[in-house]
Amino acid sequence: MNPSTTDRKRSVRDFSRREFLATSGIGLAGIAFTGCTTPPAPPAPIIDIHQHVNYSNRPDDVLLHHQRAMGVTTTILLPAGRAMKNAATHDGDSNGLEAKAFGNEACYQFARAHRKEFLCAANEVPDFEGAAGEIERYLKLGAVMIAEQKFGLECDAPAMQKLYALAQAYNVPVLMHWQFERYNYGFERFNRMLEKYPHVNFIGHAQTWWANVDQNHRDQTVLYPKGPVTPGGLTERYLADYPNMFGDLSAGSGLNALTRDESFTPGFFQRHQDKLMYGSDCNDHAGEGPQCQGAETIAAVRRFAPKHAIERKLLHGNAKRLFRL
């Protein structure tokens, strides 16, 4: 006997209800299984503007691990100039940036092999006859900076100014290692170069740069001063007065400046929040913990930055803007 029309409608209605409950159960189970939570956000990006290939003979695979362990997402590799004996290299004593660092080709090839994480700068001994041509070759291949300029020359020497003009032509920064009576002589008159090359962005780094955040720093032979800092030193004036002067937080000199007087650093970050960039410049193998100066510098930035927005500028935003990344 054929079922009635009413029975058929009731059967369809009952099946539809069972089907809805079953499929709803599957959907709810799926939600329960995934925890109904948003996946954790990836770590905030960090740009490291100062690292080296073969730093103190560190192997390439260890460098790669080191940067990842620190949480760095983009690293700029700074090459040495060629090995040679002249006054600029202290008769060869400071070849390899006095750190056994490799040169342009090694940095370029490493960056090519790890394109998503590494970029390279270009460098050469400034008073080498072919310096400008060597640097220009790698700028044309994509180098993003002339660095690290760490040679025994006057900061306003003709050979140095030739590189500043090249940086201006290619719109790339120049990173200077300032160390009294050792590298880049004449820190106290560098304002002349800042004024002569207003379209070149210069980045200050190393002992003399960081010692002179203190207005009361008098003895320039003291490279790692301790104790209270009086704001307004020459470094601060360069940062405040010249739009084309920036600072690299890297190395023991940078970390020393940030930690020697904890009452100074938050205000320093506040005043120069658009001018400072994170760099590591450390040669350890770990990339984390107190044995890694680069990791300690990241921790210091996070500790002393008066606002999260300033922390992000120092660890990422300023470098992204300056290097057009």
pLDDT beneath 70: ranges in the chain = 1-37
Cα–Cα dist 120/50, whole Å = 10
Cα–Cα dist 147/2, whole Å = 91
DSSP-assigned beta bridge partners for residue 179: 183
The domain 47-322: what is its CATH number? Answer: 3.20.20.140
**CA distances from residue 290 to 57, 209, 253 in whole angstroms, order as listed:** 21, 24, 16
pTM: 0.88
Specify the pLDDT at position 312: 98
Specify the pLDDT at position 236: 98
Amino acid at 180: F
Cα–Cα dist 125/84, whole Å = 8
- What residues does each domain of the chain span? 1-40, 47-322
Specify the pLDDT at position 37: 65
For residue range 27-74, what is the model confidence (pLDDT) as tens digits? 433 434 345 567 777 789 999 999 999 999 999 999 999 999 999 999
Is the bond into 148 cis (omega within 30 degrees of 0)? Answer: yes
Specify the pLDDT at position 283: 98
Name residue, tokens 């690290």.
148
Tokens of 170: 């290619």
- The answer to whether 255 and 297 are in contact (CB under 8 A) is yes
The CA-based dihedral angle spanning residues 270, 276, 282, 288, taken in that order and rounded to the nearest 10 degrees: 50
Specify the pLDDT at position 186: 98
